[in-house]
Amino acid sequence: KVFSSEVENKFYKHPAIGMCALVGVPNPERPDSEIVKLVVQKSEGFADKTDDEIKEELLAFAREKLAPYKVPKLFEFVDVMPLTSVGKVNKKIMR
């Protein structure tokens, strides 16, 4: 079990993260299990870096700071993070 807030709080310490959300997506190879995906909105200072460059930085960061099973397997980069009407990240849309 991975607690999204714990992992998100670690990633918020990386300067490339403007906003992020950790979500579980269905694992096609193992029914009834999920793959951990991090959805990232880059910070302004990292807008000129490619998604692949930032993904590599974030993977290295995660491997150093998190247990292996908590390291996201998928990364998705978005221009704007979807928010609910009260300003929270809308994770339902991202699954």
pTM listed for this prediction: 0.91
- Phi-psi region at 79: left, alpha or beta (left = phi > 0; alpha = psi -120 to 50): alpha
Tokens 């998705």 appear where?
76
Task: Give pLDDT < 50 ranges for the chain.
Answer: none
Give the model confidence (pLDDT) of 83-95 as tens digits: 999 999 999 888 7
Dist CA 65 CA 29 (whole Å) = 27
In this prediction, residue 36 carries a pLDDT of 93
Count of residues making up the chain: 95
Provide the CATH number for the domain formed by 4-94 in this structure.
3.30.300.30
β 34-42/74-77 pair status: parallel
**DSSP conformational letter for 69:** G
β 17-26/74-77 pair status: unpaired
Domains of the chain, residue spans: 4-94
Query: Helix or strand or coil: residue 21?
Result: strand
| Amino acid occupying residue 89 | V
